[in-house]
Amino acid sequence: MLHLICTGFQVAVISRDESRLEKLRQFLSPSACDRLHTFVGDVGSEEGAEVAKGALLKAVGQVTDVVSSLGFSWWQGGPPLSQTLQELHRVLDTLLLSTFTAWKAFFPLVKDNPEGSYTFITGGAGERLLMPGTGFLTLGAAGALAFALMVREEYPDVPCKLNEVKINMGVTTPERLGPGYVSHLEVGQAVASLVEKRAVSHRVLSAASPADLKALASQGKI
């Protein structure tokens, strides 16, 4: 996002949490904040997504690119026999169903634009159990992977660039980096380059190392 702002893009961020948006504004310089538009909204329901879309269009007029990065990064509630159906619904709502409702609202804004793009951000948790007790995270993340696949297959000929960036590493802040983790700033720069360069479409770009992210950031593809 920061990279997109620095290259002249107007960037909009929607979050249910005003405090997160405030932290984002504080992170940016005053000049960068002039190109940042923040909205408090819930894209996890069809109604909320439509309200957020209306507010966004009223503020900026046109949307050219959408990056969908939804859900929570970690769930370790325990093995399935200790869980309730309600908890499974909550995880699926957060990781899968919100991906659908956001896509349904915002994909029509960019799908017919050859200079537009829609990018899903996913992770490797959907392909393996990260550790005991994370089973519901695997289910929700697998649903998001399947949804991104389904969209690519159902819409093979849309003019916009339609891609998925799959981060097969932990993502954290620079001061908390450790083995198996990558900085959220590196991820942001890589995704921004994909959006800006428009080098590929209908691709899964899997990043399993910092080197992969650097390649994506420099070339707009892996």
Q: What is the pLDDT of residues 52-74, one digit of tens each?
A: 999 999 999 999 999 999 987 78
Q: What is the pLDDT of residue 28?
A: 84
Fold of 65-219: Rossmann fold (3.40.50)
Higher-pLDDT residue of 34 and 145 is 145
Is the distance from CB of 213 to CB of 182 less than 8 angstroms?
yes
Tell me the domain boundaries of the chain: 65-219
Using a 10 angstrom Cβ sphere, with 0-12 exposed, 13-18 middle and 19 or more buried, the burial of residue 89 is exposed
Among candidates 44, 45, 24, which has minimal Cα distance to 33? 24
pLDDT in tens, 86-141: 999 999 999 999 999 999 999 999 999 999 999 999 999 999 999 999 999 999 99
Per-residue pLDDT tens over the stretch 180-193: 899 998 999 999 99
Q: Which two tokens stand for residue 134?
A: 């994370």
